[in-house]
Amino acid sequence: MPTVVFTDPQGTEHRVEAPSGRSLMKIAVDHGVPGILGDCGGACSCATCHGYVDPAFAERLPARTETEEFMLEGVPDLRATSRLCCQLRMAPELDGIRIQLPDEQV
C-alpha cells in the first residue's frame, strides 16, 4: 500500500499507509496526525488542512482549483507548495509523498 509522510509542526514524522482514492486530510485525521484539523470534513471551506507539499511531487498533483486558491488566501505563510490536503487524493504515483504541516492552521 502507498505511504505518505506527514511532518508535524514539532518536526516529528508520521509515516502512514494511504489507500488510493482517499484524501490526504482524511488519512491524516484517521491516523491522529497532529497539525491537521480538517474542521469542514473535506468540503474545502476551512483551510485547516493546509500543508506544504514536497516540491518533488508537485508535478504529479492536479492544479489548485479556484476554490482551493480562494481558501489558501487566508492561510499564514502561504508558499508555492501550499495545498489543502482535503483536495489531494492518494494515488500510486504519490507513494512516499511528504507533507510538511505549518506551525499553525487558520
- Per-residue confidence (pLDDT) for residue 17, from 0 to 100: 96
- Per-residue confidence (pLDDT) for residue 14, from 0 to 100: 98
Q: Average of pLDDT values for 28-50?
A: 96
Q: Average of pLDDT values for 81-89?
A: 98
- Per-residue confidence (pLDDT) for residue 4, from 0 to 100: 98
Name the strands in the sheet holding 3-7, side by side, starting at the edge strand that comes first in the sequence.
13-17, 3-7, 97-100, 50-53, 82-84
Per-residue model confidence as pLDDT tens digits over 40-67 = 999 999 999 999 999 999 999 999 999 9
- Per-residue confidence (pLDDT) for residue 106, from 0 to 100: 84
**Longest C-alpha distance within the chain, in Å?**
34
Best CATH choice for the domain 3-100 from the list 3.40.720.10, 3.40.50.10140, 3.10.20.30, 1.10.10.10 = 3.10.20.30
